[in-house]
């Protein structure tokens, strides 16, 4: 654990915001969260090391499983129509090289590989990497920086709901910029602390997520952070699910009852999932949803002026 003297996003001063418990994975203890007075980022303080963070994830963590639960029955197909879950991926005219940062066992690698892409996953969990390799996926175990990928060799770098799990945002973005080709695309999806549910439920907000969420962003400070590393932001759009309203409501009940977790209950009830999902999409239209996705590009090199 390292005590931070400044915000890890902008370097501003932080003030104590909340002391929280882990309602997702039942890690014991209390985590202190500070909020930056300048950019409003919320971050763990003290900040866990990478090794400590790795110990907070359960063996059954959802993205570490071999495949997502997506059946092919008529019921499952209808479910995907009424609940169109998933990231809003950028559009590409041709295949290239792709790296998924925080890939879990590599579900998205299959998606892009089936479309002709050379796909690589980067993941801290050795168990998840082993699962991915057993399914023929190319996996790098450890941090993006430790992976040592080739300079300017990727067309697309993606970090979907993994960037908020990292304790080194500037170093990671610098590495993303290094490995991206000029003109390449960056995608980052994170929870948004300026959403309505975050404002209403505060520390009981579903996506507070301590201790696995080390830093929680909003659309403004994340866009500024990305731009600081030379990227040009192309779009900032909401993509929220039922977790915000339903999960936050369940978290609120847990605090008042003094028991329970977010691994079951209301967040697994089909009617509430459906209502919560479409309510969240309505909030997205008002820019008040729980999750935001940023797509940015690395500028192409400016040619030297002719003599």
Domain membership of residue 11 (yes or no) is no
Contact 261/254 with Cβ under 8 angstroms?
yes
DSSP state of 60: T
Q: How many CA atoms does the CB half-sphere of 135 hold within 13 Å? A: 21
> Which residue, among 109, 88, 98, 118, has the nearest Cα to 180 in the 3D structure?
98
Structure tokens at 118: 């050379």
How many domains is the chain partitioned into structurally?
A: 1
Which of 47, 44, 49, 39 has the alpha carbon at shortest distance from 13? Answer: 39
pLDDT for 261:
76
pLDDT on residue 306:
46
Count CA atoms within 13 Å of residue 270 on its CB side: 6
106-140 confidence digits (pLDDT tens): 989 999 999 999 999 999 989 899 999 999 999 99
Task: Report the distance separating Cα 105 and Cα 287, nearest Å.
Answer: 32
Is residue 74 predicted with pLDDT exceeding 60?
no
Quote the tokens at residue 230: 């030379």
More confident residue, 80 or 42: 42
Domain annotation covers residue 185 = yes
Q: How far apart are CA 62 and CA 64, in angstroms?
A: 5
Stronger pLDDT, 20 or 66, i.e. the higher one: 20
**Checking DSSP bridges between strand 138-141 and strand 118-123, what pairing results, if any?**
parallel
Q: What is the rounded distance in angstroms from the CA atom of residue 218 to the CA atom of residue 298?
A: 21
Who wins on pLDDT, 216 or 81? 216
String of b and e for 6-22 (b: at least 16 CB within 10 Å)? ebbbbeeebeebbebbb
Does the residue 105 lie in any domain?
Answer: yes
> Is residue 38 assigned to a domain?
no
The secondary element (H helix, E strand) that includes residue 238 is strand 232-238
Quote the pLDDT of residue 63: 58
Residue-range definition of the domain harbouring residue 189? 68-297
Residue entry with tokens 């590409």: 92
The domain that contains 250 carries what CATH number?
3.40.50.150
H helices then E strands: how many in the chain?
10, 11
pLDDT in tens, 257-278: 877 778 778 888 889 999 999 9
What pLDDT digit, counting tens, does each position of 78-106 carry? 556 677 778 999 999 999 999 999 999 99
- Within 10 Å of residue 160's Cβ, how many Cβ atoms? 23
Rounded Cα distance, 167 and 7, in Å: 11
Residue 55 included in any domain: no
Is 202 within the bounds of a domain? Answer: yes
- Torsion over CA: 202, 205, 211, 212 (sign): negative
Using the predicted structure, report yes or no on whether residue 70 has a pLDDT greater than 70. Answer: no
Asked if 35 and 15 touch (Cβ cutoff 8 Å), the reply is: yes
Kindly report the length of the chain.
307
Residue 223 lies in a domain: yes
In a domain, 4, yes or no: no
């Amino acid at each position: 654990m390292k005590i931070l003297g400044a915000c890890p996003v902008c370097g501003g001063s932080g003030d104590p915001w909340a002391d929280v418990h882990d309602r997702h994975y039942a890690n014991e203890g209390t985590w202190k969260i500070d909020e930056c007075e300048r950019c409003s980022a919320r971050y763990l303080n003290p900040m866990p090391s990478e090794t400590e963070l790795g110990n907070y994830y359960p063996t059954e963590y959802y993205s570490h499983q071999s495949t997502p639960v997506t059946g092919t029955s008529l019921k499952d197909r209808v479910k995907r129509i009424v609940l169109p879950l998933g990231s809003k991926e950028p559009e590409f005219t041709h295949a290239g090289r792709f790296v998924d940062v925080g890939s879990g066992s590599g579900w998205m690698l299959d998606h892009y590989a089936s479309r002709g892409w050379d796909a690589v996953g980067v993941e801290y969990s050795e168990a998840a990497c082993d699962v991915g390799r057993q399914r023929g996926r190319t996996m790098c175990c450890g941090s993006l920086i430790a992976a040592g990928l080739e300079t300017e060799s990727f067309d697309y770098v993606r970090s979907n709901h993994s960037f908020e799990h990292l304790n080194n945002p500037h170093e990671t973005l610098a590495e993303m910029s290094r490995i991206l080709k000029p003109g390449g695309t960056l995608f980052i999806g994170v929870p948004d602390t300026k959403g309505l549910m975050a404002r209403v439920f505060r520390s009981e907000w579903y996506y507070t997520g301590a201790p696995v969420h080390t830093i929680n962003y909003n659309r403004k400070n994340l866009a500024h952070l990305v731009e600081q590393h030379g990227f040009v932001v192309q779009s900032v759009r909401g993509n929220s699910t039922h977790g915000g309203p339903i999960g936050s409501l369940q978290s609120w009940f847990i605090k008042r009852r003094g028991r329970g977790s977010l691994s079951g209950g209301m967040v697994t009830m089909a009617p509430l999932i459906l209502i919560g999902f479409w309510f969240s999409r309505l909030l997205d239209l008002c820019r008040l949803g729980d999750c935001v996705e940023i797509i940015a590009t690395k500028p192409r090199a400016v040619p030297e002026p002719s003599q």
